[in-house]
Chain A
């Protein structure tokens, strides 16, 4: 058991975690943040993507006790007080969401990409999202949505 202090969606959090607990388990089971999905739990599917200090990582393969002092952003922290984030807005408008299971991971990976480069090419978008599997959409509308969301960012 270790005492863990970290920032989750801007809020300081302090809790005891077992050494073998993953960040995904802590987010879903301890903090009730079930927007982060558990898919394969083996690092293949990308459903559990969260931003760790702004970088997309797979929370199913991060030991919770190793993120001491760091900042985690989950899908629950993406929308602001004044409404949806431009990426969420675009996913909705374009129809990039079908069953929705991959969407939290897709949105976070897309947000991380657009924060580095708000005008990515379609192939750059595909590459940035290549670790997030979607079984419904065929990806075309997801790429459309990221392209559209980028236009809401200052160039």
Chain B
């Protein structure tokens, strides 16, 4: 058995109550679906005095799919995103990504906000306390060296959420909420600015701040998709993933956005791929050339199943196939 450490569970009914709970107890952590945090707590990676349960907060589950104004509450279940026909039509990359997170059982539990805030992963980090004690602790928790790249001064744990590259390609913004000086403080920022390419820092959330919603632009004619490589077709985290969004206008590509996941500590925008394709006709040779550039900004280390070389190769292959499917 993997028992949880002891903690006090708070069950607020509103967002403001939850933010106040978080700001009043240093070291407290929010929990929604629990599919990432509770596993890590069973592994002894976190031992918070208080957990603030967000699953009873109605306002975090609100969604607005009105044309031109898509807003998704952070508490929406991944299964809801996967099954929504409207989303599948207009923002296919997100629905496809939600449908390949872990397994259908975990999609029934996990939330959009939780997936966006998923902890970065590494084979030297996501292990039991016993394992890590035997092998030696790492930079990310308890140690002074990176077990994956001992000469490095940074942590290479991998951004392993599937919805983040999809939403980055779709040009999404996140809305962040915090309790500050007795008032609710909100800010919105593009998703690519929410992440930090560092396995330890990983997101720009301030203390006691929560992701409350995701805002999606609606551009008619946009096609998007998501591809994921992993050893098993279920349960596993990604070893590489690619998301792309584009539209074909007057025979040329417009609004091209491509993001890669699981090859760094944050989802990366494939700027070279995007620049090569923007304004060009969707010629198969050009698409293949652009796909070759998709891994330019990534330099993963050996800290997952499968070699870094093969993971990057698969990202290029998936990108080529995805782009071909989107313009077909």
Please, what's the 1-or-0 string for A13-38, where 1 marks a CB less than 8 Å from any CB in chain B? Answer: 00000111110000000000000001
Chain B residue at smallest Cβ distance from A58 = B105
In the complex, the 4 A-B pairs of residues with the closest C-beta atoms, listed nearest first: A131-B103, A130-B234, A131-B105, A19-B9
* Contact residue among B1, B7, B79, B105 (Cβ-Cβ distance under 8 Å from A20): B7
Interface residues on B, range: 20 to 34
Given contacts A63-B38, A130-B235, 15 further A-B contacts (CB under 8 A): A19-B7, A20-B4, A20-B5, A41-B1, A42-B42, A43-B35, A44-B235, A61-B33, A61-B39, A63-B53, A65-B9, A65-B11, A66-B53, A66-B56, A130-B234
**CA gap between A19 and B28 in the complex, in Å:** 14
User: Chain B: residues with CB nearer than 8 A to chain A?
Assistant: 1-9, 11, 31, 33-35, 38-39, 42-43, 51, 53, 55-56, 79, 102-106, 108-109, 233-235
- Is B234 in contact with A131, judged by CB distance below 8 angstroms? yes
- Is A61 in contact with B6, judged by CB distance below 8 angstroms? no
Give the residues in chain A near B53, CB-CB below 8 Å: 63, 65-66
**CA gap between A48 and B129 in the complex, in Å:** 23
Smallest CB–CB gap between A132 and chain B, Å? 8
**CA gap between A65 and B79 in the complex, in Å:** 23
Interface 9-mer from A49-57, A77-85, A86-94: A49-57
- Is B39 in contact with A19, judged by CB distance below 8 angstroms? no
- Is A62 in contact with B34, judged by CB distance below 8 angstroms? yes
- Is B5 in contact with A57, judged by CB distance below 8 angstroms? no
Interface residues on A, range: 20 to 34
A46 adjacent to chain B (CB < 8 Å): yes
Give the residues in chain A near B55, CB-CB below 8 Å: 66
Give the residues in chain A near B42, CB-CB below 8 Å: 41-42
Smallest CB–CB gap between B240 and chain A, Å? 20
The prevalent SS among residues of B at the interface is loop
User: Chain A: residues with CB nearer than 8 A to chain B?
Assistant: 2, 18-22, 38, 41-44, 46, 49, 55-58, 61-63, 65-66, 68, 109, 127-128, 130-133
- Is A20 in contact with B109, judged by CB distance below 8 angstroms? no
Smallest CB–CB gap between A3 and chain B, Å? 12
- Is B105 in contact with A19, judged by CB distance below 8 angstroms? no
On whether A20 and B106 interact (CB within 8 A), knowing A61-B35, A63-B34, A131-B234, the answer reads no
Smallest CB–CB gap between B37 and chain A, Å? 9
* Contact residue among A20, A21, A44, A57 (Cβ-Cβ distance under 8 Å from B108): A57
Give the residues in chain A near B38, CB-CB below 8 Å: 22, 43, 61, 63
Smallest CB–CB gap between B48 and chain A, Å? 11
- Is B109 in contact with A61, judged by CB distance below 8 angstroms? yes
- Is B8 in contact with A19, judged by CB distance below 8 angstroms? yes
**CA gap between A130 and B109 in the complex, in Å:** 15
Smallest CB–CB gap between B52 and chain A, Å? 11
19 contacts between A and B (CB under 8 A): A20-B3, A20-B5, A20-B6, A21-B4, A22-B38, A38-B1, A42-B2, A42-B43, A43-B35, A46-B103, A56-B104, A56-B108, A57-B109, A61-B33, A61-B39, A63-B9, A63-B53, A66-B11, A109-B104
**CA gap between A12 and B183 in the complex, in Å:** 41
Chain B residue at smallest Cβ distance from A40 = B2
- Is A58 in contact with B7, judged by CB distance below 8 angstroms? no
* Contact residue among B9, B106, B233 (Cβ-Cβ distance under 8 Å from A58): B106
Give the residues in chain B near A66, CB-CB below 8 Å: 9, 11, 53, 55-56
Chain B residue at smallest Cβ distance from A133 = B235
**CA gap between A107 and B166 in the complex, in Å:** 33
- Is B4 in contact with A22, judged by CB distance below 8 angstroms? yes
Smallest CB–CB gap between B98 and chain A, Å? 14
**CA gap between A83 and B79 in the complex, in Å:** 33
**CA gap between A118 and B235 in the complex, in Å:** 25
- Is B103 in contact with A130, judged by CB distance below 8 angstroms? yes
Give the residues in chain A near B4, CB-CB below 8 Å: 20-22
Give the residues in chain A near B233, CB-CB below 8 Å: 130
